[in-house]
Structure 1
């Protein structure tokens, strides 16, 4: 199980680094749906990894980061639904 959790954490870190790199090189915008989704996935994966290993400050940070991602994505979805109406 530990190897699986480590793999999840590693993928989460890679996702966050890719998203940051894409925004930093202007290949993606920070307010795009893709960026927010990658950020949410990466933060959630790191929260799982950090919690499993008892790194509570990092786990809490990534839980909050994930919550921000959920709120932001829900706003994207609500705006899209309002446009279609």
Structure 2
């Protein structure tokens, strides 16, 4: 039951972040957009590990890596602009 809830929370993070991006409320360059994508991917990875869903685990692992790379870019841009 808890792993299903974690999966639904992950789906919520993905859907909400994409909805807010599509509506123009969030921008692709914003940290919160990438954080929500990372949280969604991590939640869905936990769910996939529990249910041995290897394809879902692989896709969300890649999604998490993309989100981490985007966050790294956001943070380096932020610190570059401060110096």
Match of residue 58 from structure 2? 60
Match of residue 12 from structure 1? 10
Gapped regions of structure 1 (runs ≥ 5): none
Q: Is the 8 A contact 2:29 2:74 kept in 1?
A: no
TM-score (norm 1): 0.89
TM-score (norm 2): 0.91
Paired residues in the alignment total: 83
Gapped regions of structure 2 (runs ≥ 5): none
Cα separation, 2, equivalents of 1:21 and 1:46? 18
Cα separation, 2, equivalents of 1:19 and 1:69? 12
Cα separation, 2, equivalents of 1:26 and 1:78? 24
RMSD: 1.1
1:42-61 aligned within 5 A:
42-61=40-59
Shift in Å, 1:4 = 2.0
Q: Say whether residues 1:34 and 2:32 are aligned partners.
A: yes
Q: Is the 8 A contact 2:31 2:71 kept in 1?
A: yes
Runs of 4+ in 1 over 4 A off after TM superposition: none
